[in-house]
Amino acid sequence: MPSIKIVPSILSANQEKINEEIKEVEDYSDLLQVDVMDNKFVPNITPGPEYLEKLDTKVPLDIHLMVLEPSEEYVRKFIDANPKLKINNITVHVEACADVGKTLDEIRNLGVKPCIALNPKTDLEKILPYVDKVGMVLFMTVEPGFSGQKFIADVMPKIGELREMKPELDIQVDGGVNLETAPIAVKAGANVLVASSYVFKSEDKVKAIKDLMEAVQ
């Protein structure tokens, strides 16, 4: 299995001082996740590409698009929004794209690693045709839309199945990740841990990340 990576999601950080919040965790984060919601694919909304304009970080970004039919033009706006940022990957949902293979190709052609996400109730079979085209597979362990929800452990067998097929693939989990659930996800085969409220609602964010790392060693 590839090395464990920690990805704080800045969704539940204090947006009024977002760059200070990011500064605190930068040295302990492999990537930072930006969640994008359209109030169509998920029942919540966040700002779009313009959100990136105010961000200031040396940590590469993991853009998680929870939006219906992200067009090439829309994806390009994220890439072009702020030349000081590094975009590591753009993740789209298999449930949200009529032709997900095409969407992944468009992202790759824009020079960014395409990744694919699936919701807790979506069958693993739905993403298998694309696994060799992506940099990472994201298993949602909550219904997407809000941070602070309870980890759905029923997703673990799917993770285990994919890990068996793809020993070297980056497998990400997102939703309800904390000190109790991260070891369960890693044991199942996940190696990229997204955590939002666990990190940003902690008194000491650095300690929270260090504790998480320790819990999965």
Residues designated as active site = 35, 174
User: CB 5 → ligand DX5: shortest distance, Å?
Assistant: 15
* Piece of the chain touching ligand DX5 by CB under 6 A; list 68-76, 181-189, 192-200, 204-212: 192-200
Q: Which of 88, 181, 191, 197 binds ligand DX5 (CB under 6 A)?
A: 197
Distance CA(5)–CA(30), nearest Å, equals 6
Residues near 67 by Cβ (< 8 Å), separated by ≥ 6?
36, 37, 38, 40, 41, 74, 96
Query: Out of 49, 114, 135, 175, which residue is the one contacting ligand DX5 (CB under 6 A)?
Result: 175
Please give the Cα distance from 149 to 152 (Å, whole number).
9
Structure tokens at 143: 């219904």
Residue 11, interface with ligand DX5 (CB under 6 A)?
yes
Using CB under 6 A as the binding criterion, the count of chain residues that bind ligand DX5 stands at 22
d(CA 73, CA 166): 32
Site for ligand DX5 in 21-50 (CB under 6 A): 33, 35
Distance CA 74, CA 86 (A): 17
Per CB under 6 A, residues contacting ligand DX5 are: 9, 11-12, 33, 35, 64, 142, 144-149, 174-177, 194-198
